[in-house]
Structure 1
Amino acid sequence: MDPQSVHRRRWYILAVLTVSLLVVVLDNTILNVALKTIADPEEGLGATQSQLEWAINSYTLVFAGLLFTFGVLGDRAGRKRVLIGGMVIFGIASLLSAYAQTPDQLVWARALMGLGGAAVMPQTLSIITNVFEPQERARAIGIWAGAVGLGVAIGPVTGGLLLAHFWWGSVFFVNVPVIVAGIALIALLVPESRNPLPGRLDPVGVLLSIVGLVALSYGIIHGGDTGEWLTPGALAPIIGGAAVLGLFAWHEARSDHPAFDVRLFRDPRLSAAVASIALCFFAAAGVFFFANFYLQSVRGLTPLQSGLMVLPFAAAQLMFSPRSAAMVRRFGAKAVCTVGLLLVTAALVGYQFVDEHSPLWVVGVVFFLQGAGMANVMPPATESVMSALPREKAGAGSALNNTARQVAVALGVAVLGSVVASVYRGDLADRLAALPAGAREAAGQSIEGAHAVAARLGPAGEGLIDPANAAFMHGMHTASIAAAAVAFLASMVVLRWMPGRAQDAGEAVPAETSGTPGRRETAKV
């Protein structure tokens, strides 16, 4: 496929890549609304709370641990080839998940989905970087970033619709026809690209990145699940993973053929942008995740109704993400990112006005504000990361961007979830002490557990519901204030270190024209 043909098809290529990305992002948010059904012994698999957590965490662990590796592999072996391979794995794993007969089978199938997702996600962004010229790339990345936000928002709606008409496995089976069509379109439209001068392999660097990211992610997940961050089970992998990642950085800085040149972090475009992505998603993702429990458990909405409540977030993403590039051209990345993060901060503070009896339109306004803020953070920050790298390193840059986001999401859900759980149990301690041992443990685990215990106890359990709701809301309010503080910190990082407009900030020469020449790197399909 010649460069002129690629240029003419670039927006069709973007559409195909966006759909491929949407399938991966959508899957996790669809699963969230199906957890209650999967836990049902008659309609689902009778999964325990721990098995449900690992159905989510097995995906996250493999996905976060292998993102960087697949980004580097795509640069070397061919991004289209790795993308198609990842889609095939993701499709097979979706089928295995849909027809799992036991919770353990579902956990392992989800881990395989994480493997496929890790291969898909970095290739989508790195192919966009190579297909679009710098003057159009920011707009394309804005659309790509909007797909991430859209997947977060429409997943619950899709899941609710499927569960209303089909069996629980339909939330996974729905991926298969989309993936089959996606593979055919990728083969037809997307050009192959790779680093034309890959140099020698860096197996030590790749291995250190896998071990470090997997250990760190496991420790974060374990600490969040148990709420015990100072035990060896959480501390050892977190400290060990951080130490291995430090060793990875030390090795890469001294290698003459690094998998990723960590010296690029000297560029404020890269370092400030990665920090803003990580801090923003840490703050927003954790609170956004627990808003689902608020809508379903406290307000009693169905999965479909709670999914529809997230549509204002999706609308904001669709409205603002594609326009972020124009805003950056007019005001500069620093101004746009800072304002976006301040909007996220305001939205997180807005959760203080949400309680057990708030009008639902208040929740919609908070979601819209949060979506608008994130739509003006991720596209310019992602473009800053990608523009700091030569095109032949696009896979590594894409993986860095996505790894920062994924680890931050896991950390946000785990840490802020621990805050919610700690406040919830503390406020409910007196009520829990009066319950039988088995019921006490179930009610103390979650708001959903408290409602289930109250239902089992009948009239004797009615007095548990209102205190449990109040305790959960107190925990959510506390976590949202902590998240708002993190988002505000991110805005200050951007304001201090991210360059403004190119002509005012004295930016370094873009990667395309600097020492390592960027090139389109297209080859025959």
Structure 2
Amino acid sequence: MTTPTASVERRVPEAVHRRRWAILGVLMLSLLIVVLDNSILNVAIKTISTPAPTGLGATQSELEWAINAYTLVFAGLLFTAGLLGDRLGRKKTLLAGLAVFGAGSALAAESGSPAQLIAFRALMGLGAAFVMPATLAVLMNVFERDEQPKAIGIWAGGVGLAIAIGPITGGVLLAHFWWGSVFLINVPIVVLALGLMIWLVPDSRDPRPGRVDIVGVVLSVVGLVLLVYGIIKGGQLADFGDAKVLATIAAGLAVLALFVVYEKRSDHPSIDVTYFRNKVFSAAIAAIALVFFALMGVTFFSVFYTQSVRGYSALQTGLLMLPLAAAQMIFAPRARLLVDRFGNRATTTAGMIVIAAMLAAFATLKADTPIWILEVVFFLMGTGMAHIMTPTSVVIMQALPREKAGSASALSNTFRQVGGALGIAVLGSVLSTTYRTSIEDKLSLLPAGIRHTAGESIEATLGVAAKLGPNGKALVTPANDAFLHAMHVTALWGSGVAVIGAIVVALFLPGKAPVGQSGKEEEQLVAADH
């Protein structure tokens, strides 16, 4: 009985096979809004930080949580969402996830406070967690094995497209509408995707689904939230030695350690920790986490550099970031050619070194640096990203048996999201702490009540300066200088993280396979490292 069932699961019905490219288009539309939302939000950060009625007057810590609430819930629930998709049907969970994401978007658009925005962003993350793994699972079900690499390549290209159009779309919306429009734009796209999905996408499920790992999910979410909250609080207080900060971080690490122990002993773990015995798999996962750690942190502070220091509008900022996404769209599909010629290790290490060099280049930017230099930096960063993500994704998929491909993909995405969230938290905290230290002596003449608030971020300082009228103009130049110094320090931290990533992949990723040895290489990758 088991064998026929399994063979039916693998066989693609002829009717579905004919519609596979249309189905891929619907899946990409679903992926688009999940990725688009984060890139749109990056452009809206400055507007949301502006006091009401223009924005919500969010502090830098609240802005970080508006982003992290989404990414942490998303990352924490990815595996549970995948297990429920296997149990209940991937189409059902995909439809439910889109509906929740759309509802969260509508509520976020009407947020009346930063706390509400954070809560509704978490709701959006909940919906997105059910969308992402289900799209790849459906894709694998409707395409034959020989077309799957091509389909996955196009699917992944949707991320580059979303990164490219997100900031521009956000800039256009902010130029003509209120800040909430960057979330409300998701609603009509969700409605369209739901209609097309009901019509085109077939349902599928695992004939032998595992049990849902509720305890594991709770432990992972609690641990990550405590860890990131402690890091953000340390930046907010400008004191990582504070007892509460240290206690929160320690509690987060303890819960995550408990999570690993529980998953190791569980007979239905959400994450099979034995995967990490394979050094190649672990190195590739680490590379993805580290590069997104650096990238998300840079994206966070570059928005303030272009808008607050350079005076560009939200739309102009979106256009300035276009080279980053364009480079990924150009080089990601072609990165495999370099891998074939030079191997995974050389290609990925070179990509990491390029990322590290471009982050270090941020430490040279000034208030009057020609803007074309920033564009070159963004383009080269995108080029480096393309030559990291494609090779590591291939390595991850080859490092585990083919029947574990779904788990490998979900684990990769989890670390990408967590790496990005921690990047914003850690590098955002470094930025905040350095800025406060640099601007503190310039705020000594301000009343004690507003001195602390004015030192939180460059936007807060400029906001106080605007309220003081002519007397506040003296704060503008020191605020810009303090931010540039903080940006330089933060960029060098990010560069250091990228260097660590380069060392990891140089040591553990496989090199170029000898001619005629590709089959043996794949066997070696699949074998667990003991």
Is TM more than 0.5 here?
yes
Greater Cα offset, 231-240 or 273-282: 231-240
Residues in 2 aligned to 1:487 and 1:373: alpha-carbon distance in whole angstroms: 11
Conservation of the 8 A alpha-carbon contact between 1:139 and 1:325: no
Structure 2 residue 269 is the aligned partner of structure 1 residue 262 = no
Residues in 2 aligned to 1:337 and 1:359: alpha-carbon distance in whole angstroms: 30
**By how many angstroms is 1:368 displaced?**
0.4
Corresponding residue for residue 425 of structure 2: 414
Conservation of the 8 A alpha-carbon contact between 2:465 and 2:476: yes
Q: Which of residues 331, 340, 345 is equivalent to 1:334?
A: 345
Closer/same/farther in 2, CA of residues 202 and 229 from structure 1, 3 Å limit: same
**By how many angstroms is 1:226 displaced?**
4.1
Closer/same/farther in 2, CA of residues 467 and 200 from structure 1, 3 Å limit: closer
Give the SS at the match of 1:473. helix
Greater Cα offset, 6-15 or 278-287: 6-15
Corresponding residue for residue 33 of structure 1: 43
Corresponding residue for residue 239 of structure 1: 250
Residues in 1 aligned to 2:293 and 2:281: alpha-carbon distance in whole angstroms: 18
Mapping of residues 101-500 of structure 1, within 5 Å: 101-132=112-143, 136-390=147-401, 393-500=404-511
Structure 2 residue 83 is the aligned partner of structure 1 residue 69 = no
Closer/same/farther in 2, CA of residues 441 and 340 from structure 1, 3 Å limit: same
Conservation of the 8 A alpha-carbon contact between 1:195 and 1:393: no
Structure 1 gap segments, 5+ residues each: 516-525
Closer/same/farther in 2, CA of residues 23 and 375 from structure 1, 3 Å limit: same
Corresponding residue for residue 509 of structure 1: 523
Residues in 2 aligned to 1:147 and 1:225: alpha-carbon distance in whole angstroms: 36
The residue identity in structure 2 corresponding to 1:432 is L
Structure 2 residue 102 is the aligned partner of structure 1 residue 91 = yes
Conservation of the 8 A alpha-carbon contact between 1:141 and 1:383: no
Residues in 1 aligned to 2:71 and 2:257: alpha-carbon distance in whole angstroms: 22
The residue identity in structure 2 corresponding to 1:20 is S
| Deviation per residue, 1:264-297 (Å, 9 max, x gap) | 2122332111100011111121012100000000
Closer/same/farther in 2, CA of residues 272 and 198 from structure 1, 3 Å limit: same
Closer/same/farther in 2, CA of residues 300 and 505 from structure 1, 3 Å limit: farther
The residue identity in structure 2 corresponding to 1:30 is I
| Deviation per residue, 1:425-461 (Å, 9 max, x gap) | 2222321212222442233111112222222223322
Corresponding residue for residue 519 of structure 1: none
Residues in 1 aligned to 2:174 and 2:268: alpha-carbon distance in whole angstroms: 50
Corresponding residue for residue 522 of structure 1: none
TM-score (norm 1): 0.88
Greater Cα offset, 34-43 or 169-178: 34-43
TM-score (norm 2): 0.88
Task: Return structure 1 stretches of 4+ with deviation > 6 angstroms.
Answer: none
Q: CA RMSD in A?
A: 2.9
Residues in 1 aligned to 2:140 and 2:512: alpha-carbon distance in whole angstroms: 20
**By how many angstroms is 1:141 displaced?**
3.9
Residues in 2 aligned to 1:276 and 1:3: alpha-carbon distance in whole angstroms: 38
Residues in 2 aligned to 1:178 and 1:368: alpha-carbon distance in whole angstroms: 29
Greater Cα offset, 6-15 or 294-303: 6-15
Mapping of residues 8-19 of structure 1, within 5 Å: 8-19=18-29
The residue identity in structure 1 corresponding to 2:490 is A
| Deviation per residue, 1:324-383 (Å, 9 max, x gap) | 234334433223222221221121122133210011111100000111111121222223
Q: Which of residues 8, 24, 31 is equivalent to 1:21?
A: 31
Structure 2 gap segments, 5+ residues each: 1-10
The residue identity in structure 1 corresponding to 2:23 is I
**By how many angstroms is 1:242 displaced?**
2.6
**By how many angstroms is 1:172 displaced?**
1.3
Closer/same/farther in 2, CA of residues 388 and 134 from structure 1, 3 Å limit: farther
**By how many angstroms is 1:469 displaced?**
1.0
The residue identity in structure 2 corresponding to 1:164 is A
| Deviation per residue, 1:448-480 (Å, 9 max, x gap) | 122222222233222221222111111111111
Give the SS at the match of 2:468. helix
Q: Kindly, what percent of the aligned residue pairs are identical?
A: 56
Closer/same/farther in 2, CA of residues 48 and 211 from structure 1, 3 Å limit: closer
**By how many angstroms is 1:299 displaced?**
0.3
Conservation of the 8 A alpha-carbon contact between 1:62 and 1:115: yes
| Deviation per residue, 1:469-506 (Å, 9 max, x gap) | 11111111111112112112111211111123453695
Conservation of the 8 A alpha-carbon contact between 1:87 and 1:116: yes
Residues in 1 aligned to 2:328 and 2:153: alpha-carbon distance in whole angstroms: 10
Residues in 2 aligned to 1:491 and 1:306: alpha-carbon distance in whole angstroms: 29
Closer/same/farther in 2, CA of residues 136 and 433 from structure 1, 3 Å limit: farther
